[in-house]
Structure 1
Amino acid sequence: MLTGTGFIKQMSDWKLFDSLTYVSGLSGGSWILMDLITHDFEVDLMLTDWNLDDGLLQGIPDFVVRQKDLVSGIEESDLTEEALLKRDWSGFDNEEFREFREILDMEVALFDEETNDEGLGKRSLNPLLRLRQLLFDDDDEVEEPLKGSLKDKNDTAQIKSWKSVKRIIQFYIDLHMEVRPKKMKGFPVSFTDYLGKAFIRNLGSNVTNMLNGSSFSRLFRESKSFKDFKAPIPIVVANCKNERLKNVIFEFTPFEFGSWNPLLRLFVKLEYLGSRIRSGIAERCVKNFDDVGFITATSSSIFNNALIYIWNMTAKSSRETVKAIKTIMGLFGLEMAGTDSNDVRSSTLDQIKADYAVYHPNPFFNYPGVDSILTTNDHLYLVDGGEDGENIPLRPLLIPERKVDVVLILDSSSDNQNFPDGRKLKNVMNQLNPEKAWSFPELEFPLEHPLAFGCFDKDHPLLLYFSNGQHSYRSNTSTFKIVYDESEIGRMLMNGREVFSSDFDEHHRNCLGCLLIKRTLDRSAYLSEPSFCRDCYDEYCF
């Protein structure tokens, strides 16, 4: 989000943002779209309301994912046990609070009773006791066994950090109460619903009050910039996970929701998403399902991978630990499908459904003449747009009906030391043309200037590829670094500006102009390419 925001701000300074017809985003890019929508596409106001010096989800520290790309699953991190326990926790109402504490108390006792290992038998190391301490003990009380385990200042600091638990609990209670009305209306909820509410909360109280419960489509109906045709059409991209599908993308625009994929190629008016439509006939109409936070969280639910990672870790723990964590997940709405009640370990990650965003009813259910995986299930399961390794939201812009001339691509992938190396663009191109293995030039990253692909293929858009790299600041921060101070924000934004401007190089700026007008020149029977532009094409085009 920070790199892309700097990129857009520099586009705006060079008077190019106003020329955009579309702007697509997924994952952190969808946060940019939410920011633009929130501020009626006033680029100068971007980031003015985000509380980036506070964690997105209370009680969860930053952590770094190493080596493995998020899209292939999280296998390594520096999560501590304390962070692990905090991460598997949500807010409950009073009745659920009491129920959960009673269950947890019993599990603590069972753990100690059944553990024969002397080390594990120590109450100070009982993970369930620590979870109970974290969530339920009074601020000024610490049980004697835990006090006895204090050995250094770090432990003392940990005790002090537990004193803020009431604030953390209240945060999750508030989220729970905000999500509950959707559940009470009969719609399934998932972790993504909570994440969406957290996004809105992170925008500050003024924006939160304006956006909470606001539908995506209604915001555009009320947008002055959009009604005056002064704003690009935003496209939020998400991946479908029905029946283990791969690289089947759905899109949200102010007008419609659906997919261009041959399995569907259908759309429904976004305003009526959530309505019960069977066989193309509306049976019950619903509005306001298209909550702007929920849609943003759907596209950027890579944080759900952290949840899966935690489930993997806890599944390696004792049977009682698994049962206790499963209780938390159940109360949070993350129920396990197909679990054998006699064996809590029988659940597999493939059976987890509620960590996906659930779109029910499926508006395309039993649509006449379309018999596919996407029409035979009354639920659509959507996840982060980059979940399948296709985390550049390019395909929606290459639809021939959109008649795009040039696409500016910003790649902020974490391929190599959290910088991109071009493989994600290759992934997309291979999806577009699976019959032909798409070659990528051998280049040094970061690039000195953007690459232009398809310069001389007049029937398709020209693709101008920018990659995140270190210019004035090391911008390869972890996806899970969700706290930034003012200095870090300023440097990340400046580096994003420099990615677009190639360090404010005037030659690059002029060549960029040549690339942006190339399709216009190609279509003209009267205009010829300036010699300067021909030199730029030799330099930039692959």
Structure 2
Amino acid sequence: MQRFFIVILVLLTPGLATAPFQVQCPSSPLVREAKHELCLEESSYLKKKEIKTKNKLIDFLKSLDEARFNSKFYKRVSKDPPRLGIAISGGGYRSMLLGTGFITQMNDYGLFEYSDYIAGLSGGSWILMDLVVQNFNVNSLLTEWDLDEDLLLGIPEFDISEEEIVTNAKKEYIDNDISKKKREVRKTQISSFPEFYDQVELAVNSFEESPEECSLVKRNMNPLTRLKRIFFPNNTFTETDAKIGTFKTVLDFYKNLHLKIKPKKMEGFQISFTDYWGKAIIQRLRKNFDEDPNHTFSFSKLVQSSAKFKECSVPLPIFVANCKNGLLSNVIFEFTPFEFGSWENILRLFVRLPYLGSKIVSGEALKCVNNFDDLGFITATSSSIFNNVLIFIWNLASQSSRDAMKALNMVMGIFGLGKEEMFSISKDSSRLETDYAVYQPNPFYLYPKVDNVLTNKDHLYLVDGGEDGENIPLRTLIIPERELDVIFVLDSSSDIDNYPNGSKLKKIFEKLDEENIHYQFPKNIKSLTRPVVIGCNATKRPGRDSFLPIIIYHANAYHQYVSNTSTFKITYNQSEVNNMLLTGREVFSSDYDLHYKNCLGCILTKRTMDRLPKKKKFSPFCLQCFKDYCYS
């Protein structure tokens, strides 16, 4: 208990506080209307980056013996270099490990730092977090991740697809006789997030030091005993319950998360399950950030302090999430190092990221804060499909013994996902749904001339894009303002046997069709073991003079190693890690195929050639490459 007391003292030390704090509001507006342009910071970064990294592509092209490009071609490419983006799908650790191998192979080709953007959601967002922590050094990725320890203590591994989790989590409960379940299943004492938080807070704050024993006691009851009585009031901690995890180990894990979140709560901000989830992700890093008094978790500050980012020599990271205000579907929000907001026509507003969490009404800043843009919280927002894991576990256990049910419900209650919280419709319209990531205050609240579900409430609900079946962060890169020419897509979805079948990409194409942006997905794909290039033909954007980007679609598939691990596999040994990384490399390089590598030179520069005022003939080699790999 002395160690626990030390943890509390550390958290109360002002120099270590990572909670949002009030600052003076700047004189310039915090919210901008995204009409037809990027923000100034993003535009400036890209211009500087083009100068800094364009030789990376020239070096790659010169390394291609089979393609045999000439000096005139290199001059054209240098004068009008193509813009590249990377989109990493969700899929838990499977996606993170495959994606890390994928961009490592890109880096070996010199194409990672050349790329302008890297977008990620869910497991893909964990790569972005790792990149930020590692100063964008690709070769340092995973060095700080503790993959041997459970990502979420007390939650067992099981093999189920994301789609089953999302579509069945609530449906299975609702389709049953709820009243019967309420009679059969004994209600636990912790049934909601606020109740859990308040009771743990009461126990944590009920400490008094006993000189005789030099320990923390309260009425002869130490905090562990108090918390045990909260969760198990009738002393029902049985061997069955213990199968989910040793009580003390699991409890200490969540108790420490609670203490890390407490400063944000004390500042008056609404907290939710996602706050816990964000701290859990950060905790998987081996670095002990608590020992560094100058450390910050602010996404904007971490990126801006990165030496490589200052040099404008790395892709700009974009975290993607979906909004659930008013039961919206497929409405994308994004976090860049500069801004938070949405390009969707329903909003097209952005707030300066360092001031996220400020009270802004009708576009006017009333109270400004920094540090709300916590890297763990943003990453957790993008990967909140794990919220549904806990709901699904509850459903799976609904026919189990009462002891097992109580144990599972206890773990869910820790996250504010007790059945009463999740499956009841609140009559109190002021109660926030804390199973979502809660962004309050809403920076776009009552913004002039924008009156809809995204502006008429003082909060935003954000979730994992996988909840809407949009498991690939592609649309954020296709927007015309970013003028990308080629987008590398890595799809690690679990469509069939934890392998993708292209259905997630097809769903995105259907959404793009609604926006008058048309791609054709191959109807008869013989194999997903090699890249599929989509949109090779130079098609103009609706109402614009620029071309739609080429999409190079890579799908996780069997190469030398079975890489269809469960999305919810939460531990990996070193051998498994190495094999997943190898598969990611093989996916990008098409099994180190030198012919494909040469063809990649043709594909990456095709839009540069398409933009020439006079139609130029491609080399016979490139024409054959387009026949071999392009579908349009």
Smaller-chain TM-score range? 0.7 to 0.9
Is 1:186 aligned with 2:268?
Answer: yes
Query: For residues 317 and 416 of structure 1, do their structure 2 counterparts lie closer, same or farther at Cα, with a shift above 3 Å needed?
Result: closer
Conserved? CA contact 2:244–2:407, under 8 Å? no
Pairwise CA distance, 1:313: 5.3
Report the equivalent of 2:66: none
Is 1:279 aligned with 2:359?
Answer: no
Query: For residues 325 and 360 of structure 1, do their structure 2 counterparts lie closer, same or farther at Cα, with a shift above 3 Å needed?
Result: farther
Unmatched 5+ stretches in structure 2: 1-95, 173-184, 205-222, 540-546
- The separation in 1 between residues aligned to 2:420 and 2:450, in whole angstroms, is 27
The code of the aligned residue for 2:623 comes to: R
The code of the aligned residue for 1:455 comes to: C
Which one of 41, 47, 56 corresponds to residue 136 of structure 2?
41
Conserved? CA contact 1:88–1:325, under 8 Å? no
- Tell me the number of residue pairs that the alignment of Structure 1 and Structure 2 aligns: 486
Which one of 527, 530, 533 corresponds to residue 452 of structure 1?
533
SS at match of 2:113: helix
Is 1:404 aligned with 2:493?
Answer: no
- The separation in 2 between residues aligned to 1:9 and 1:229, in whole angstroms, is 19
- The separation in 2 between residues aligned to 1:444 and 1:87, in whole angstroms, is 48
Pairwise CA distance, 1:529: 1.3
- The separation in 1 between residues aligned to 2:481 and 2:311, in whole angstroms, is 23
More displaced stretch, 483-492 vs 380-389: 380-389
SS at match of 1:264: coil
Pairwise CA distance, 1:50: 0.5
Report the equivalent of 2:70: none
Report the equivalent of 2:258: 176
Report the equivalent of 2:512: 432
Structure with more contact order per residue of length (Cα contacts < 8 Å, sep ≥ 6): 2
- The separation in 2 between residues aligned to 1:321 and 1:387, in whole angstroms, is 28
Is 1:470 aligned with 2:558?
Answer: yes
Is 1:538 aligned with 2:627?
Answer: yes
The code of the aligned residue for 2:159 comes to: V
The code of the aligned residue for 2:329 comes to: K
Report the equivalent of 2:50: none
Which one of 183, 196, 200 corresponds to residue 282 of structure 2?
200
Report the equivalent of 1:28: 123
More displaced stretch, 299-308 vs 280-289: 299-308
Which residues in structure 2 correspond to 1:195-234 (within 5 Å)? Answer: 195-206=277-288, 213-234=296-317
Pairwise CA distance, 1:184: 1.2
SS at match of 2:143: coil
Pairwise CA distance, 1:444: 4.2
Which residues in structure 2 correspond to 1:32-181 (within 5 Å)? Answer: 32-65=127-160, 68-74=163-169, 92-93=200-201, 95=203, 101-102=228-229, 108=234, 129=236, 132-133=237-238, 164-181=246-263
Query: For residues 451 and 239 of structure 1, do their structure 2 counterparts lie closer, same or farther at Cα, with a shift above 3 Å needed?
Result: same
Question: Any idea what the Cα deviations from partners look like across 1:437-469, whole Å, max 9, x if unmatched?
Answer: 965323346424211111113421111111110
Query: For residues 273 and 445 of structure 1, do their structure 2 counterparts lie closer, same or farther at Cα, with a shift above 3 Å needed?
Result: farther
- The separation in 2 between residues aligned to 1:160 and 1:316, in whole angstroms, is 17
Is 1:479 aligned with 2:567?
Answer: yes
- The separation in 2 between residues aligned to 1:55 and 1:14, in whole angstroms, is 34
- The separation in 1 between residues aligned to 2:420 and 2:383, in whole angstroms, is 23
SS at match of 1:433: helix
Which residues in structure 2 correspond to 1:383-398 (within 5 Å)? Answer: 383-398=463-478
- The separation in 1 between residues aligned to 2:311 and 2:336, in whole angstroms, is 17
SS at match of 1:370: coil
Query: For residues 278 and 334 of structure 1, do their structure 2 counterparts lie closer, same or farther at Cα, with a shift above 3 Å needed?
Result: farther
Which one of 314, 320, 345 corresponds to residue 262 of structure 1?
345
- The separation in 1 between residues aligned to 2:265 and 2:351, in whole angstroms, is 23
- The separation in 2 between residues aligned to 1:34 and 1:170, in whole angstroms, is 25
Query: For residues 283 and 503 of structure 1, do their structure 2 counterparts lie closer, same or farther at Cα, with a shift above 3 Å needed?
Result: same
SS at match of 2:281: helix
**Cα RMSD (Å):** 3.6
Conserved? CA contact 1:26–1:384, under 8 Å? yes
Which one of 290, 304, 321 corresponds to residue 373 of structure 2?
290
Pairwise CA distance, 1:41: 0.9
Report the equivalent of 1:123: none
SS at match of 1:40: coil
Pairwise CA distance, 1:513: 1.1
Pairwise CA distance, 1:427: 0.6
Report the equivalent of 1:13: 108
Question: Any idea what the Cα deviations from partners look like across 1:392-418, whole Å, max 9, x if unmatched?
Answer: 100111111111111111111111111
The code of the aligned residue for 1:10 comes to: Q
Pairwise CA distance, 1:512: 1.0
- The separation in 2 between residues aligned to 1:72 and 1:493, in whole angstroms, is 30
Query: For residues 3 and 403 of structure 1, do their structure 2 counterparts lie closer, same or farther at Cα, with a shift above 3 Å needed?
Result: same
- The separation in 1 between residues aligned to 2:529 and 2:411, in whole angstroms, is 49
Query: For residues 521 and 63 of structure 1, do their structure 2 counterparts lie closer, same or farther at Cα, with a shift above 3 Å needed?
Result: same
More displaced stretch, 449-458 vs 400-409: 449-458
Conserved? CA contact 1:55–1:482, under 8 Å? yes
Question: Any idea what the Cα deviations from partners look like across 1:249-293, whole Å, max 9, x if unmatched?
Answer: 100000000000111000000000000000000000010000000
Percentage of identical aligned residues: 51
Question: Any idea what the Cα deviations from partners look like across 1:150-183, whole Å, max 9, x if unmatched?
Answer: xxxxx8xx97986x43232211111000011111
Conserved? CA contact 1:450–1:464, under 8 Å? yes
Report the equivalent of 1:151: none
Query: For residues 284 and 518 of structure 1, do their structure 2 counterparts lie closer, same or farther at Cα, with a shift above 3 Å needed?
Result: same
Query: For residues 333 and 88 of structure 1, do their structure 2 counterparts lie closer, same or farther at Cα, with a shift above 3 Å needed?
Result: closer
Conserved? CA contact 1:55–1:483, under 8 Å? yes
Which one of 512, 524, 535 corresponds to residue 600 of structure 2?
512
Report the equivalent of 1:115: none
Query: For residues 276 and 512 of structure 1, do their structure 2 counterparts lie closer, same or farther at Cα, with a shift above 3 Å needed?
Result: same
Which residues in structure 2 correspond to 1:249-398 (within 5 Å)? Answer: 249-312=332-395, 332-333=415-416, 353-398=433-478
- The separation in 1 between residues aligned to 2:435 and 2:490, in whole angstroms, is 28
SS at match of 2:448: coil
TM-score after normalising by structure 2: 0.70
TM-score after normalising by structure 1: 0.81
- The separation in 2 between residues aligned to 1:189 and 1:287, in whole angstroms, is 16
SS at match of 1:182: helix
Query: For residues 6 and 433 of structure 1, do their structure 2 counterparts lie closer, same or farther at Cα, with a shift above 3 Å needed?
Result: same
Conserved? CA contact 2:323–2:330, under 8 Å? yes
Conserved? CA contact 1:337–1:352, under 8 Å? no
- The separation in 2 between residues aligned to 1:32 and 1:324, in whole angstroms, is 33
- The separation in 1 between residues aligned to 2:291 and 2:494, in whole angstroms, is 35
- The separation in 2 between residues aligned to 1:299 and 1:457, in whole angstroms, is 33
The code of the aligned residue for 2:551 comes to: L
Pairwise CA distance, 1:329: 6.0
The code of the aligned residue for 2:203 comes to: E
Conserved? CA contact 2:126–2:379, under 8 Å? yes
Conserved? CA contact 2:529–2:558, under 8 Å? no
- The separation in 2 between residues aligned to 1:324 and 1:478, in whole angstroms, is 23
The code of the aligned residue for 2:566 comes to: S
Conserved? CA contact 1:189–1:333, under 8 Å? no
More displaced stretch, 51-60 vs 521-530: 521-530
